Chains A and B, each alone.
Chain A
Amino acid sequence: MKTPDEEVAEKILLQFQETKLLSEKGIKKIGESLSTGNLSYEDWRLIFETDRLEKEDQNACKSP
């Protein structure tokens, strides 16, 4: 049985996915830590910055 934290975390991650706020990889990194409160300031920052850089790299590769 899921805890309330896990239930809310699941909904949050789903919405992240639907709104394409983060890549699958980024969402995976957030994973279980979201519900347990183990996502620190550095974690959030690193996940979003890495995601942005990776998207920029992908865009750079696509452009001729």
Chain B
Amino acid sequence: MPAKVHKISLVGFRGATVPVEINFDTTKPVALIFGENGTGKSTIADAFDFACNGGFGSLEDRSFPGQAKSHIPALGQSAQDLKVLLNTSNGTFTATLNQSGPSVSPTTGCPDARILRRSNILQLLNAQPKQRFEALKSFITVPGIEKSENALRDVSNNIEKNFNEAVRSYSQAITELEKLWDAEGKPETDALKWAEAEATKDIAILEKRIITISEIEVAFQNAETSLSPLDSALSELTSAQTAQAKAQEEQKQEEVKQPKIDGTLLALLRDAKSYIAGHKPMSQCPVCEKEIEADRLVGQLEARMSEMRALSTAINTVSMAKRGVENKESIVFQTRKEFLKHISKLASAFNACPLSEVTALNIHWPDFQDLLNPAGYTEILENKARELWKTALPCRQPLGNRKRADQKSIDQKNAIKGHFETHTEKLQAALELSNLSLKLKKALEIVSQQRKAYVEDVLSAISDDIERLYSKLHPGEGIGNIRLYLKPNAIGSLELDAHFQNVPDIPPQAYYSESHLDTLGICVFLALAKHFKTADTIVVVDDVVTSVDGSHLDRFMNLLHAEATSFNQVIITTHYRPWRDRYRWAKGSTAKTQVIELGPWTLLNGLQAGHFVTAVKELKTAVENVAFDRQAVASKAGIVLESLLDFITLKYHCWVQRNTRNEYTLGDLSNAIDSKLAKVLHCRRPSGAVSEKPVVSIKPLIDAATEVQWIRNCVGCHLNALGSEISDTDVRCFARAVLTLADALICQSCGTLPTRRPSGSYWQCVCGELELHPLVYPGADPRMIDDED
């Protein structure tokens, strides 16, 4: 069931300081809430926003960042007491305010209120294209598709990047191969064939040869490293031996100088002194067993040794030289052993090496057999090793050259192989990626096109609808041709163009008047609301009309009535009295519009939602009232009569005597309906009830009412003696005559005067059940008449 609101109840909500209920007549598509400034119109619109959308209404547009919630409760009332109740065709919904904001129960089924405020119009029209797009994005975009499209775009871009990378790689590989091929003198028919052949060649022989040469190089290096210490050790040994021989010679010379003594005696004396000193007290010689004085004997021994000091020094020098020789001999042995070990390895490597650089040396290996498996580390073997070293040394450089050449060859073959494999692999990858990239690009193009087409279709449909609505409001004014569109090649930029005096593509906000912009904003809103409505959508238009002339107001009312059929319910608030008066004076259909009138707001009484009655109904009530107010009835009847005569004289362009105040008496107006018009002026009810006369002549009714029109002045307007002489019956007669005329001229079904022109011969009420004939003053040109007003 379409959502319709029967009643909204406000408790402690904004201006509702006292609980208030507003009832809606859901048989009428439009509800007009009229109230002067400060009567609570926006409170009602905000209550719809609060209950239906969980919003804070007009407070959100004002400078209360994050504080709107604290200003929602009525003055002096707490948030806990705040409540908005909606009685709808889908059930009753209760909106309250809690910590997190508005909360509605039950959570589903509540009407979806689209609310238009004047601030929204300005935002919609004056916003930058990007902000405008953001505001409408949720309506005109397809977020699911966009998300998938973005992922597809990423894949497409990445695959294209991979494809370009593969192309770059195989192009680079072929360039490198061509360089190598060129350097090789361009064998084979092309670089790729050559590279393929080269890549398949076996490089094991080269690798094995490099290993062999590397082993020999290590052996050379180790032998060389060990030879130097050996040479040094031998040199040092020779020096030590020379020093020993010299010391021995010096000792002999000392012994010749003192023939009675020699080194042996000196050693004996030294030992004796040491023995006696170590065995004190001693009184007897341990050799001859004679009596001795130990201290004295030690002194004698020291004296004798002192006499032999030069010999002693020479003996010590010989002893030290001997130890030096022994030490050097040991070092020679070790270094020789090391050298022979490495020469042995070199010999083994050479012996097994088939390389020409080695075999060309023609080494006679039987001579060096001892070196292949050395049994000891003798000087003889060392000499053989030195001989082999000298023999082998000349091939060291050529072997190094051979190794470098082989390594270069391997490196080149590896490079060829690498480039060739890269070329093959990347070419294949490029072919596959090219195919994939083309498909992904095509897919992206389709997705993107379809998405844009959808958005453009939506915008086009909305633009068409805006244009349709706007041209109804401003026919022939040289404005319109409204177009909403996405700016090409820009992200999220929603442009708004229009015509002004037939100049196309101008921004309306720069050229249109404020009232034209207001109506444009309303048309944009209505078109959007219509396009994106749901089964639960109701429309609330909060006081958006400021000041428009009569003809535009009538067109606007007609437009709203026509568009209201597209929505479940349209609720309008206005402070514009001419709008309200259209209904009061039968210029607007009360059959289609419920008018609700707000009384003055006070803190004590809150909002006052009062009843609205038309002027005719008010007069009828007053006439029938038991407590008859003759002054009020005479006055009201006079005003109703004035409005009816005003309507007829305007419709037929009747002649009246002009005055500066533009005010005309009832007599002026009734006399303006001359006999020529009077003869043909009549109303017709084509499908009226049997009891009703299908055709009613108007002039007699006017005459009946105006005959006693002076009652209005005497009773309803002024204090005079004549007024006192007029009976209540006369006043009632005057009022009834006026009501008879009103009943004849106002449709009983829709409550409107025949203000529309459906054909070329008469006027018609809104519902079409009442016709007013003729269309123009007899003889006048129908083309000169104003359109419906």
Contact = CB atoms under 8 A, between A and B. Distances in A.
Chain B binds chain A: yes
B625 to A, nearest CB: 55
Contacts of A59: none
Interface in B149-192: 151-152, 154-155, 158-159
Contacts of B447: 12
Contacts of B442: 19, 21
A63 B559 CA distance: 70
Given A5-B143, A37-B146, A19 B446 contact: yes
Nearest to A44: B155
Given A4-B458, A48-B440, 8 more contacts: A9-B144, A9-B145, A12-B446, A15-B450, A33-B148, A44-B443, A49-B436, A52-B435
A43 B147 CA distance: 13
10 contacts: A4-B454, A5-B143, A11-B450, A15-B450, A22-B439, A35-B148, A37-B147, A37-B148, A40-B151, A44-B440
A19 B443 CA distance: 10
A24 interface: no
A18 to B, nearest CB: 10
Given A12-B450, A21-B446, A45-B155, A37 B436 contact: no
Given A11-B450, A16-B443, A41 B144 contact: no
B261 interface: no
Interface in B414-460: 432, 435-436, 439-440, 442-443, 446-447, 450-451, 454, 458
A41 B454 contact: no
A33 B152 CA distance: 12
Interface residue SS majority, chain B: helix
Contacts of B158: 41
Contact of B152 (A11, A22, A44): A44
B218 interface: no
Contacts of A44: 148, 151-152, 155, 440, 443
B145 A5 contact: yes
Nearest to A36: B144
A54 interface: no
B443 A48 contact: yes
Contacts of A37: 143-148
B152 A39 contact: yes
Interface residue SS majority, chain A: helix
A34 B436 contact: no
B439 A52 contact: yes
A10 to B, nearest CB: 9
B154 A41 contact: yes
B145 A35 contact: yes
Q: Which 9 pairs of residues, A with B, have the shortest CB-CB distance?
A: A37-B147, A5-B144, A37-B144, A39-B148, A44-B155, A5-B142, A35-B144, A8-B454, A12-B450
Nearest to A15: B446
A4 B146 CA distance: 12
Contacts of A7: 454
B435 A39 contact: no
Contacts of A41: 151, 154-155, 158
A7 B446 CA distance: 14
A31 to B, nearest CB: 11
Interface residues of A, number: 28
Interface residues of B, number: 26
B667 to A, nearest CB: 64
A5 B140 CA distance: 11
B439 A8 contact: no
Contacts of B143: 5, 37
Nearest to A39: B148
Interface in B443-494: 443, 446-447, 450-451, 454, 458
Given A12-B450, A19-B446, A34 B439 contact: no
Contacts of B154: 41
Most chain A Cβ neighbours within 10 Å, of B154, B436, B450: B450
A32 to B, nearest CB: 10
Contacts of B148: 33-35, 37-39, 44
Contact of B443 (A9, A21, A43): A21
Contacts of B145: 5, 8-9, 12, 34-35, 37
Given A35-B145, A44-B151, A8 B436 contact: no
A52 B435 CA distance: 8
A57 B144 CA distance: 33
B439 to A, nearest CB: 6
A8 B449 CA distance: 10
A48 B159 CA distance: 11
A7 to B, nearest CB: 7
Contacts of B443: 16, 21-22, 44, 48
A21 B437 CA distance: 12
A45 to B, nearest CB: 5
Contacts of A4: 142, 454, 458
A63 B386 CA distance: 75
Contacts of A11: 450, 454
A39 B155 CA distance: 11
Contacts of B146: 37
Most chain B Cβ neighbours within 10 Å, of A35, A43, A48: A48
A34 B144 contact: yes
Contacts of A39: 147-148, 151-152
B151 A8 contact: no
A11 B435 CA distance: 24
Nearest to B437: A48
B142 A8 contact: yes
A55 to B, nearest CB: 9
A12 B446 CA distance: 6
Nearest to B159: A45
A48 B436 contact: yes
A39 to B, nearest CB: 4
